[in-house]
Amino acid sequence: MEESMEQMILLERYALAKERTELLTAEETVSPQYVPYFHQVGQFILQMDALFEELQAGKWKDASLEQLKERNRLLYQDVTGDNYESSYANPACACRKLSKKYGAYLAFLYWELRGMIVYAFEQRLEELVLYSELFLQVYNAFEAAPAPSMKELKSIVYWFFSDNSDILVPYRIREQLDPGLDFASGIIMQSDLTDLRYLYQFGEYIGENEIKTAAFLNTLPQETIDKLAHTFTEGFRRGFVLAKKPLEKKKTVNIRYRLGFERVVRSAVLQFRRMGLEPVFYRHAVSVINRNRNRIIGYAGGNPNPQCDYDHRFDQYLYLDRDFMTRRLGVMKSAYEACRELAEELAGPACMEVFGEMPFQPLEKPECFQLTQAQQKLSIIAANTQAQLTGRYIRDEEWSFTMIAFPVPEIGPRFEEIFAETAAVNTLDQDRYRDVQQKLIDALDQAEYVRIRGSGGNETDLRVQMQPLSDPEMETNFENCLADVNIPLGEVFTSPRLEGTNGILHVGSAYLNELDYRDLKLEFTDGKISGYSCGNFPDAEQNRKLIAENLLLLHDTLPLGEFAIGTNTTAYAMARKYDILDRLPILIVEKTGPHFAIGDTCYAREEEMETYNPDGKRIAAKENSVSALRGTNLQNAYMNCHTDITVPYDEIGEITAVTAEGKEIALLQNGRFVLPGTEFLNEPFEKSGEK
């Protein structure tokens, strides 16, 4: 009876909000320059109401593919391509059309309201009502005063998110853990995947990549599909076995992927079920209160406009303060408590990434919101505290993951060839690589430090200090990384000693955290970033700002959390063959040369766990002087980021291990492996004819 009463009240609020929105689209009771905005946004909300009701009634069930394509186009047309330049979601356009005072605020409101597309598809009436009422509250403020104060408008947003965080945040947590929320899994497992109309059931933007990928996968035999999925699922299983973690205690696995790959994902689901794991699918967050500003986490369709995401990366400016942070963390804790059993049953995420899209270089717009200095510090504190909170319920010692990547058709006309070669790269001979990589590790374990220098125009000149080994016969600094949690195989990595690690890291081009960087330089002093620059913009300060916000993630500095040598020369040769090195994801790129991760170590929050290489040696280098603070100053021990930056083989002059006695052991010279026993790694260069 109580649920029925709540539903009745919700339906009544829905009807009232809809009626009021219908009326305002014919009114002119706000200042004239804002009338077009409120009319257009009001019409959008009414379209979402209509879509909600049509989907509920099953109206689109028998629609043709062309009808569904047209509906999808209309839903996203306002923010795609050149249309974004005249969209109210664009802060620059909103400031130009409306006013500099309110433009960014009203652009935020419209962008946030566009999440109603998702709520309509998922039949989430409560969120539709909440956002309709938010819109009406802002409209009333403009209606009551020709020029409402920004303080009043910010207060509306602040209290909207504060009051409704106990609805928006718990649902986000639950959908990451609960297989009973099966909106996406129902589509994936029950649809006829040869009928591409299924893609339009998700409510995501469906572009050429999604359509062409699904169509291409439909041409492959089931045996091939199963093999692709097996590489993915077996990597996940091996991660537990190698880390000696208890997979048998787990009941769910979180699958994250891009739409178009449903045939592979369906096969993966069946394979995971044979392991005793039920899939959990959740969509990337559409509300600012749950979004990660640097990554898309969850399943997703195409991105209709990366610039739009970038423009709204700091919309939390409108509400972030210490009280709000405390409120949100309190809601998170209650939500995890309510889902404690589900959290304990989660084995971790299995992530299927894509690559091949054109690298994105953002435009900086002064009209966009920026966090204050106090808010920047709060956002770092909030991220740290949130990670600690999550770790109490999803424990690192029982949790693992796997990642794999495949190309999308945007990579070019040779997509099918590249797809086949990527599948081959993902399944290289682990035994052979394990032995070769062990030879590198044996040499590196003799080193006091490693010297890395670039060649040609690459200005890299780094001395990376190694951790001292107390028992070299039983301990090692480097992990022998094969194809388990990180697919493809091909690297040896360590957590370097920060003190004594100095020099410059330079790359001509790097695609990091969804952004393209040109001529990126990072200077390290005692293992921490002490200077940085890039060549994306003519203005040096603008370049520094880009790095500070999107690589340092608002931290004053970041430590060098990882030093690695990639050994997957097959992947590198493939990239050069098709001229796609700048299109590869970091998951593959990090295997195609030495790489350096800024932020946390690879063993963040797992320092106390015993980890061993295939040769039986225990990995000793699992922390540095920053992560060692976890016992006394947990807030400053972790950065909650780990960004790999790779120097390609053809930009490497030397990598040399230098012992405490001054002996030099050459590992790579002029982009080629020269350590005896590693010559096999040069074969792909020779086969490709690269000099």
| pLDDT above 50 (res 316) | yes
pLDDT score of 2 more than 60: no
Residue pLDDT, tens place only, 494-553: 999 999 999 999 999 998 888 899 999 999 999 999 999 999 999 999 999 999 999 999
State whether residue 161 is helix, strand or coil. Answer: helix
Residues 6 or more apart whose Cβ sits within 8 Å of residue 682: 569, 672, 673
38: CB partners within 8 A, 6+ apart: 24, 25, 30, 139, 142
Residue 691 scores a pLDDT above 70: no
User: What average pLDDT does the segment 156-183 reach?
Assistant: 97
**265 CB-contact burial (10 Å; exposed 0-12 / middle 13-18 / buried 19+):** buried
191-223: buried (b, 16+ CB within 10 Å) or exposed (e) per residue? bebeebbbbbbbbbbbbebbbbbbebbeebeee
The answer to whether the peptide bond before residue 614 is cis (omega within 30 degrees of 0) is no
Mean pLDDT of 115-131: 98
Q: Residue 437 has what pLDDT?
A: 96
Q: Is 214 a residue whose pLDDT tops 80?
A: yes
CB 114 within 8 A of CB 88: no
Please report, rounded to a whole number, the percentage of residues in the chain having pLDDT higher than 90: 90
Q: Write down the residue that tokens 């299983």 correspond to.
A: 237
**Does the pLDDT value for residue 5 go beyond 90?**
no
Strand, helix or coil for residue 622? coil
- What does the block give as tokens for 255? 């699958």
CA distance 671 to 685: 10
As a whole number of angstroms, the distance between CA 210 and CA 481 comes to: 32
Output the pLDDT for position 162: 97
Task: Please state the rounded mean pLDDT for residues 385-405.
Answer: 92
Q: What is the pLDDT of residue 292?
A: 87
Mean per-residue pLDDT of the chain: 95
The confidence score (pLDDT) of residue 4 equals: 84
Question: What string of H, E and C letters represents the secondary structure of 94-134?
Answer: HHHHCCCCCHHHHHHHHHHHCCHHHHHHCCCHHHHHHHHHH
Hey, what long-range contacts does 581-584 have (CB within 8 A, 24 or more apart)?
581/648, 582/359, 582/509, 582/511, 582/516, 583/355, 583/356, 583/357, 583/359, 583/407, 583/411, 583/511, 584/355, 584/405, 584/511
Q: Give the mean pLDDT of 420-433.
A: 93
Does pLDDT of 690 surpass 60? no
Strand order in the sheet with 461-465: 528-533, 515-525, 497-512, 461-465, 449-454, 652-658, 664-669, 672-673
586 vs 348, higher pLDDT = 348
> Mean of the pLDDT values across residues 635-663?
95
pLDDT at 140 over 70: yes
CB atoms inside a 10 Å sphere around CB 426: 21
**Residue range 385-393: mean pLDDT, rounded:** 93
CB-side exposure of 418: number of CA atoms within 13 Å?
A: 25
- What is the pTM for the complete model shown? 0.93
Both structure tokens of 396: 């690192």
Residue keyed to tokens 């649920």: 3
Instruction: Reply yes or no on whether the pLDDT at 3 is more than 70.
Output: no
3-state secondary structure of 471: coil
Judge whether residue 1 has pLDDT over 50.
no
pLDDT over 70 (residue 688): no
